[in-house]
Structure formats: C-alpha cells, structure tokens
Structure 1
C-alpha cells in the first residue's frame, strides 16, 4: 500500500523536472506497510540529490541529516542535536555508538505512519565509521525477524559512486535490504535546454557542450544564460572563463573529489588526451608516454567514478572507445586547459578567440554526435528505424582500398534488440555539426554498408541517416522523400519525439 492520490504530495515548483524520480521517492516514502524500508539514491556530484531529498522530507514531514566531513564523535553529536530539534525534545546527549544512533533513527517510524529519514552523503559517514553498514544490517535484520511495526523509510544518498557500489552492489550485504535503488542522472539535452530557458536549438546545443545537463551549474553563474546565439561567446567569457565564478575551477574540483588522492596530474593528462582525440587505452598510454598498466589504472579510476564511459565499437565489439562523461571536463581539457596560463595575463575575450576553433572542432563536433546517439535512444521511437533501438554507438572498419589509411567510420550506428549477440543493424549514420550535408555523405554510408555486407552483416533493412547542425541540400531532401535516407537536424533533435516519428513515416510514404 502507498499514499492515496489525495494525500500524495505534489512535486514542489522549486524542483525542475525529475517527475519520475519524485514519483519513485514519494511512492517509497509513503508506503504504509508495517516494515522498515531502505532506499538508495546515488549520482554524481551537482545533480540535485540534496535538493530533491530536502523537498521530499519537507513535503512529508521527514528527517534529513546532512552529513559533513567530520570526526566520528562530531557527527554523532550533530545527529543527536538535530534529532532533538526534530522530535522537539531535550537533547539526550550524543549517541555513544552508531548502533544506538541507528536504533534511534529507525524508532522514528514507530508512530504509526511512514516517516522518510535521509542520511545525505552517506559515504562520508562510512569513511568516519566503517562499522555503520554492519550496524544498519543488524538493525534491519532484528526488526524484520521480530515483526515489529516499524514504518521508517530510510534513504541513503551518496555521490561517491565507488563507495555506493561497494555498499549496495549486487554482492554487498545491504543490497538485499534495499527496496528502492534510484540513480539521479544529469538532465538530458532537451531538459537542459528548458532548464536554461533556451529556445534556439543551436544555442542550446552549444551551451550543452559546455555545461551539459548538470543542474547546479546554472546556479553557479547566478542564472545567467546567453540571450541568443550572438551572445554565446560573451556568455562563455563571463562565466566559465571568469575567475570570479565557481564554474571557473569546477573541472578541477570534479577531478579532485572524484579521484581522491590518486595521481591527479596523470588523470588530467588522460582527460586531455581523450578530449583531443585519443579514444583507446593504447592510444592514451602512448600519448601520455606512460606504461599501459599505469594508464589503465588511471582510466579505470575515472570510469569507476563516473567521469568516463567505455563503449564498444558497433562493428568491432572488442574495440572499446572511451569518452568523457561530463561535458565541462571535455570543454576544459580540450579548449581551456592549454590557455590557463594566458588567462592569468590576458582578458578572457582574447583567450577565447584562440580557443574557439578548438572548441568547435574538438568539443562541439563530438558532442553533437553524442547528442544524436542520445536522441536515437531517448526520443527516436520505433517508427524512425523500423524497430526499437537497443544501442546507438560509433562504428568503424578498416578501409580495404587504403590499408594504411584511416578507418571508414560512422557516428551513429543503431542496432535492435537481440539475445547475447549483436542486434539487427537498423541504421548507419554520419553526424556533421558545422557542415551542410549532401549526397556524398549518403554515398559514404552506402559504401560502408557494402563493406559490412562483405563481412556477413545483414544490411537488407538498414536505413542510412544523416545528422547535421546546419542542414541538408535539396538533393538530400529529395533522397529523403524517396525513402532513401533519414535526415535529422537540430529542430528535429529538440522537437517532440512523436512528431519526429510521424515526420519520418510521412517521408517514407512519399
């Protein structure tokens, strides 16, 4: 049982989007079963976990303890004081042990109604008190074995992804106790455009190439957003390149908080290598001039902390490419980091004038391709490619005509669902951010399809696709009208998904 629709609290206006997350939290926190519940909320820094959980406890009259980096005794003392204020009782003194503190927290749910109790940034408590997970496990086991009526809905949140995985992963003792496991991810590119109040799709993608979908970053610049495409350069100079804003050093803070005390210099260099075109472990190690084992350790650390993603090639699954998960880190390490010393001596406008070409080629171009892949997975719908997409990835093959030359590649390779093998090839596409696309792009895709067919790939129903940030020629539009190619421009990326599917269906019928 759960809260009725009448008593179910509406999401506060101060919480942007996050409708599904709010519904999941309210359902968990309002569950009226007479058993204690345990929920886990994880996600990288700055995604709004605290904001969301604070809104939840305020809406349902719950208790939230915001963990700080402190000694064990100080945390227990603070918890005792805050519990006393919450229950409106005289402070009994700090709990002597975490076993006692856990019992006191769980006792909040013995008043006949569900009570959400939040320990925010739980990993910091575990670092102070390694015995805490065992104390929680024992307390829950006792309550469930005795069958005592207890309706505490304990929510443990954390930004340290390695610690959260260690505590709540599939093999962890607390994993089996969790009734809810909620991951708070960055806003997608459409949500981010609405959050920043940007209607122009080209401007929205440029801003997303800098700050991504992390909600906190708009607050870091006091809500300042570019007023139009012509204002973008001025906005960059006055925000992310301005030492007076928190965004100026945010990329360094992300790496410092995500890598703890490991070799941050090597991590910075690894991110710089990836941001400027190196994608595999071997390429990165060669660029850094470091043994592959050291590079692999560094890259694994970045992946574990959610700062890197590893994605298999769509045509050669053994080839894994790495990409930076946080756009701000890619922006910093490709465009800004080489200019950091100049920023101390020159104005941001002059520095940005030199960095802008690098930003356009090394940052926005790859980011646009990634947004196109995200669009396929989140918005395209089955009508666009003939079935539900299961994966959207980059793909490349050696060129038999130029064995020593670059591979023949595709930016958006869409596969359908399949069991334990590569799914059916639904689409092969190329993405060009600043290039009007023409029939020669379609011919490139057709040549790649011939190569794939020669390797035994079934391309009978594969749909060529062109993705462009500036548009398509009349000849390519004519090919679309004949059902030869799927065209996706910025307007389509940012418009309603059902409209996109309908438009494709209409084109196929012509």
Structure 2
C-alpha cells in the first residue's frame, strides 16, 4: 500500500484495484491494511496524491465495505453504484429506434453495456423481423460468451455457497411464484428454509422485493436482471439440448409463447412502472411520485382480488397519501373500454378501503399493441384517462 501511495508523490495518479472482493477473500485483512494506510495523520498519506479506486461486481460485498463498523467506513470520498442502463438508454446504446424491438431486446439481455459488444460480439438485430434470428444466432448460441453469462453471474457473489439452491429459488420466481409461500411450494420446502437464500439474492442485487401497494406484509419478488429471467424461463429447462450445436432454432420455436407470457409481459409491466417513476411528466400524473408499485385490491362483495399493474403513490401531505394513478399494462392486448371500466371499479374499491386519497386518481392504460376507438374516444372526452403506447414509453412522442 505504501508503494501504491508513493506513485502519487509528484502528481495525481489513479490506482485501480478491480474485482476487489476476490482479493479480499484471499486476504481478509486487506480492508484493515488499507484503513491503516489511509490514516489521516500518516505521513505517507499526507504526501501522496494517489487516488485509490476499489472496484467489484459483487454488490453485497462492496455494499458492506463502507457500512457500520467496517474498517473503511469514513475513508472513502466517493461511493458510486454503476447501475444497468434503463430501457431508454439501452435502446440508444444498442442503436435500436423501433420501440417494440427495443423492449424485446431489453427483456432478453437487460441494460448491461458489455452484453452488446463483448458478449454478443457486436451483433444487434437489424430490424423487427430479425429479432427471432438474432436470439437464435446470438443469445442461444453456445459459441457466444453471452450463452453462459447468466450461470456465471451467481459465481461472482462470494456469499453464494450452495448455488443449486439459489438457482432453484430464481427458477421458482421465473416460473411465476412471486411470494415466499409460492417459492417454498415450488421447491417443496418450508418457507423458513428459503428465507436466507432470498435475503442473500436480494443483497446481491439479483432478486428485488416489491411491497404490495394495497396489502400490508404481502411482498412479491422479481428477478432484477433480465438475462437471468430469460435464462431460467427459456434456457435452463432445455440446457442439454441447447449445448448441442444446431438446436437453438428448434428450442426457440417451441419457447416463443413462453417468452411472451413469462418474460416479455412481466418486463413490460416493470418498464411501465419505471417510466411512471422516472420519466413521466408530473403534470400528466397529477403530482410527483413518491413511489410506484403494484398490488392486489380486495373486492369484499365479489370475494376476489383485482391485480393492479401500476400504482403511483404521491407524497403524503396530510393524513392520507394521494394515489396519483392506477394503471393496466398489456403487452399483446389491444386496450378497450372494458379495461378502463375495470380500473374505474377498482378505484371505487380503493376509495371505500380508505387508505389512500383517490380524489384525483387518474386511470392509465399501457399497451404494446395499441388502443381501440372506444378507448381513444374515452381518453379524449373524459378527464383523468391516459393512454400510453410504446413510442411514449421511449420518449418518441
């Protein structure tokens, strides 16, 4: 460490230690060594202009470096979490202008920049009609680095010991089991047995916990990395076939319907929620969102629950937080007047429950397939109804 600090004795020098978690695993004392080297009153530090950058892809480990009583707490001048590109930036980075194609690619590989050039070897779909061929020749091709990337992502996390169990938890979520009880039933285990794997996957940034906007203590989970969701839904069940050259086209032909329902549909819903939180004009929503989620609204008379894909909650300025908007997101369905009437009924149920202020709640319909004439007429003549299409989600209108 003294030698690294000495590099900056005459001028500022960046010193980068990449994949720091692996180095610290080999020498657990390393953070304490760095802490001592960067002690404020130490002569070597005072005379050095070295800029030490500790980098790592293991989110759980890197997140603990500066927390609580960690040795390096108070020593850092910058803590930077490099997030994947969102759907808009990813489309720009992949040079895709067609919003429908952009969302399908984003649902497959997510927003990690390296996946375009290094892992996909610079191969991008030439147009909407090339998507299927691109999946076959690149994503499902055992000769590309992208093919095994989803399996290797787990190996980057030092806290993941029994990888088979963690893979099974992710597979359960990918198959639609979004609750702890659902995962436990899928794995034929007790809910308490999978509590630790869920927490570790959350810390690693591979699993995301979403609170139900309308029911307390009813969280659901989703896979945070689209490539992992695609792998567990499409690739893992037929892995032995895919490893055999020439099988990709046959597998993809049989998997396209599952891709639409299990991968593309849920991803579209999440993009709609991200758009409402980060991109939507507050005037369109009737205020600035404090959080955007989803949930289930109970109908006591019908004794059933109604799922809400998008729930936009504003900043509380009184006894009740305002519910700015509720929305329905349909990837492959044309939105009609029945969808709007359903949202109106659900808004009435939320009003009766009394948890949110629904005085100005707007109804938003998201569709990847468009809207029929009655829906368009309702949006044009009745206040509080908003229709959002794919170009709008991508900022093209």
Match of 1:59 in 2: none
2:177 to 278, 282, 300: 278
1:221 deviation in Å?
1.7
1:152 deviation in Å?
2.2
2:229 to 330, 334, 356: 330
**Offset from partner CA, 1:130-185 (integer Å, 9 cap, x none):** 22211221222244689934322211111112221222124423121111110000
8 Å CA contact retained: 1:161, 1:305: yes
1:205 to 103, 107, 112: 103
Q: What TM-score does the superposition give when structure 2 sets the normalisation length?
A: 0.93
Match of 1:386 in 2: 286
Instruction: Summarize the Cα distance change of 1:261–1:368 in structure 2 as closer, same or farther, 3 Å threshold.
Output: closer
1:250 deviation in Å?
1.3
1:399 to 299, 313, 316: 299
**Offset from partner CA, 1:261-296 (integer Å, 9 cap, x none):** 522222222111111111111110111101222211
1:110 deviation in Å?
2.5
Match of 1:151 in 2: 49
2:78 to 169, 180, 185: 180
Instruction: Summarize the Cα distance change of 1:121–1:418 in structure 2 as closer, same or farther, 3 Å threshold.
Output: farther
Instruction: Summarize the Cα distance change of 1:286–1:279 in structure 2 as closer, same or farther, 3 Å threshold.
Output: same
In the TM superposition, what are the counterparts of 1:248-327 in structure 2 within 5 Å? 248-258=147-157, 262-327=161-226
Match of 1:377 in 2: 277
How many pairs were matched up?
A: 393
Corresponding residue SS for 1:486: strand
8 Å CA contact retained: 1:336, 1:355: no
Deviates more, 1:326-335 or 1:357-366: 326-335
Instruction: Summarize the Cα distance change of 1:337–1:487 in structure 2 as closer, same or farther, 3 Å threshold.
Output: same
Structure 1 unaligned regions, length at least 5? 1-101, 500-510
Partner Cα separation in structure 1 for residue 319 and residue 258 of structure 2: 38
Partner Cα separation in structure 2 for residue 421 and residue 304 of structure 1: 33
8 Å CA contact retained: 1:258, 1:302: no
Instruction: Summarize the Cα distance change of 1:115–1:226 in structure 2 as closer, same or farther, 3 Å threshold.
Output: same
8 Å CA contact retained: 1:415, 1:422: no
1:131 to 14, 29, 50: 29
Partner Cα separation in structure 2 for residue 421 and residue 344 of structure 1: 58
1:393 deviation in Å?
0.7
8 Å CA contact retained: 2:21, 2:158: no
Structure with larger Rg: 1
Partner Cα separation in structure 1 for residue 240 and residue 28 of structure 2: 42
Q: Does 1:455 align with 2:353?
A: yes
Corresponding residue SS for 2:208: strand
Instruction: Summarize the Cα distance change of 1:174–1:422 in structure 2 as closer, same or farther, 3 Å threshold.
Output: farther
Corresponding residue SS for 1:390: strand
Instruction: Summarize the Cα distance change of 1:422–1:363 in structure 2 as closer, same or farther, 3 Å threshold.
Output: farther
2:3 to 97, 101, 104: 104
1:122 deviation in Å?
1.5
Structure 2 unaligned regions, length at least 5? none
Q: What TM-score does the superposition give when structure 1 sets the normalisation length?
A: 0.73
Instruction: Summarize the Cα distance change of 1:145–1:440 in structure 2 as closer, same or farther, 3 Å threshold.
Output: farther
**Offset from partner CA, 1:82-104 (integer Å, 9 cap, x none):** xxxxxxxxxxxxxxxxxxxx112
Partner Cα separation in structure 2 for residue 258 and residue 130 of structure 1: 16
1:335 deviation in Å?
2.1
1:339 deviation in Å?
2.3
Partner Cα separation in structure 1 for residue 320 and residue 53 of structure 2: 38
